[in-house]
Amino acid sequence: MNAYFIKIIGFYINLISHFSSIYAAKLAIKLFSTPQKGRLNEKENLYLDSAIQEEIIHKNISIKTYCWKGEKETILLAHGWESNAYRWKSFIEILKPLNYTIIALDAPGHGNSSGKLFNAILYSECIHAVAKKFKANTIVGHSVGGTATIFSQYKKQLASIEKIVLLGAPADFVGVFERYETMMGYNKKVSHAMAQYVLRELNHLPAYYSAPDFIKEIEAKILAVHDKKDRIIPYTDGLKFKKNYEKVEFIGTKGFGHGLKNETVHNHVIDFLNA
């Protein structure tokens, strides 16, 4: 969405909040949870056709998975917002010669998975289901895929998971909501109503959902990589993982942006896998 259209929608939802803050929050959350991009095109599908494909059903959502079999440990790749399994192509091509078994999934409402709505909690449940099905040993999550992985392991820790890699992961719901609210220009009534909506739906306020706080309950070794020039998720989010827990190996990069699709980053991840 362009900036002008965003402000028009924000103004409209702000106006509604004066009559019904609950309805305004519902609209704001629905907009926040509806991906506009992330479906696969013909070229991307052609590449993913090289994998063994399987669908896993979770809450009536069909989650598409892609598997490249190897002899070594199983690595699950979880993409971020408005993306899909194809975003891992360059990393998959590095992992295959190393003989890992590679699993990638499409999140709800993304790629070839079904559904129209997406949030980190639902995604965490899907990641758990896929990791459990394939007995994953490592999960690599980009952006919200990393945060959802932490949420997943905190809620239902899988013994098979020995390592987790977070690439440009947002630290918490509070920061994500604040950035969304600022982008849309929501007033305080909408912001407060959104927090109450989360409380009603999930039984916790947004402040509860803090990946750095959840990490202390997770036994897996963790690598967090964040770029100082990340324009989507600020570098300060990455530092929250570094600051709070000594068990997290943190690497700060510069110039690779939010995508972190770079040979240097890939080498850091491979070194972590081999350690």
Residue 176: how many other CB atoms lie within 10 Å:
20
Secondary structure letter of residue 252 according to DSSP: E
Instruction: Over range 96-119, report the average pLDDT.
Output: 97
Instruction: Over range 245-268, report the average pLDDT.
Output: 93
Residue 167 has φ and ψ, to the nearest 5°, of: -115, 110
Instruction: Over range 209-214, report the average pLDDT.
Output: 96
pTM: 0.96
Q: What is the pLDDT of residues 124-161, one digit of tens each?
A: 999 999 999 999 999 999 999 999 999 999 988 999 99
Please give the pLDDT value at position 25.
Answer: 97
Q: What is the pLDDT of residues 93-106, one digit of tens each?
A: 999 999 999 999 99
Instruction: Over range 13-40, report the average pLDDT.
Output: 96
Please give the pLDDT value at position 243.
Answer: 78
Using DSSP's 3-state secondary structure scheme, residue 254 falls into: coil
Query: Over 80: is that where the pLDDT of 3 sits?
Result: no
Q: How far is 169 from 253, CA to CA, in rounded Å?
A: 14
Query: Over 70: is that where the pLDDT of 1 sits?
Result: no
Q: Where are the domains of the chain?
A: 33-172+209-274
Domain 33-172+209-274 has CATH 3.40.50.300: no
Tell me if 173 sits within 8 A of 238, measured CB to CB.
Answer: no
Instruction: Over range 234-262, report the average pLDDT.
Output: 92
Instruction: Over range 266-270, report the average pLDDT.
Output: 97
Q: Which residue has the higher pLDDT, 246 or 189?
A: 189
